[in-house]
Amino acid sequence: MKTGLFFGSFNPVHIGHMAIANYIVEHTDLKQIWFVVSPHNPLKEKKTLLADVHRLRLVKEAIGEDRRFKASSVEFKLPQPSYTIDTLTHLKEKHPEKEFVLILGSDNVQTLNKWKNYREILKQYEIIVYPRTNRDNGSEQDSKAMNAVPEQIGTILEAPLMEISSSFIREAIRAKKDVRHFVPAAVWTYIQEMNFYKK
């Protein structure tokens, strides 16, 4: 079974993540998408992350009963910082019956050569790229990123461009703004119950 791996901090997961996952599973041959919640992205500061267990809970709340999606905590059990190639190797050994496909935003393409063993990733795994605007440089930067996609990558989607970011949501909540419609309803409820991102 072809299974997409959507890696991210999901800090928090928002409607942009869900819309992209929905588009991909309906417009490609993927049967399911796993939201792989990363405990620590080597290219990001760890101090900005909500606790792992809470970000996983938020993803589960966002997914609800939708069987097309699954929340994965696989990286919580692996050595940190987590590297994509190590996670892929672990999943391949644990689920030999599945064909895993990487899902990447176009902004990540430009940093792909900084990833551990990135040539092996390109060699062994199909990658699906969806458009994502760099908020600092706009669509021109995104266009450059899309044009820089290596030939080894199998699919470049013309998916809707989602400009919502987790950092925008965190900053808005900190500024006491109501952003309930930027996240799934169950996610907003949990964020409010737990008083997340208010400080």
Question: Is the omega angle on the peptide bond into residue 131 within 30 degrees of 0, that is, cis?
Answer: no
Note if the pTM is more than 0.85: yes
CA-CA distance, 35 to 17, in Å (whole number)? 9
DSSP state of 115: S
Candidates 8, 53, 41; CA nearest to 166 is 8
Q: pLDDT digit string (tens) for 162-180?
A: 889 999 999 999 999 999 9
CA-CA distance, 30 to 27, in Å (whole number)? 8
Query: What integer pLDDT is reported at residue 80 of this predicted model?
Result: 85
Between 172 and 153, the higher pLDDT residue: 172
Task: For each of the domains in the chain, give its residue range(s) and CATH number, in order of start.
Answer: 2-163 (3.40.50.620)
Query: What integer pLDDT is reported at residue 113 of this predicted model?
Result: 87
Q: pLDDT digit string (tens) for 94-138?
A: 999 999 999 999 888 778 889 999 999 999 999 999 987 654 444
Q: Please say whether the beta carbons of 24 and 33 come within 8 A.
A: yes
Strands (DSSP E) found in the chain: 2-8, 32-37, 69-72, 99-105, 126-130, 155-156
Question: Is the omega angle on the peptide bond into residue 42 within 30 degrees of 0, that is, cis?
Answer: no
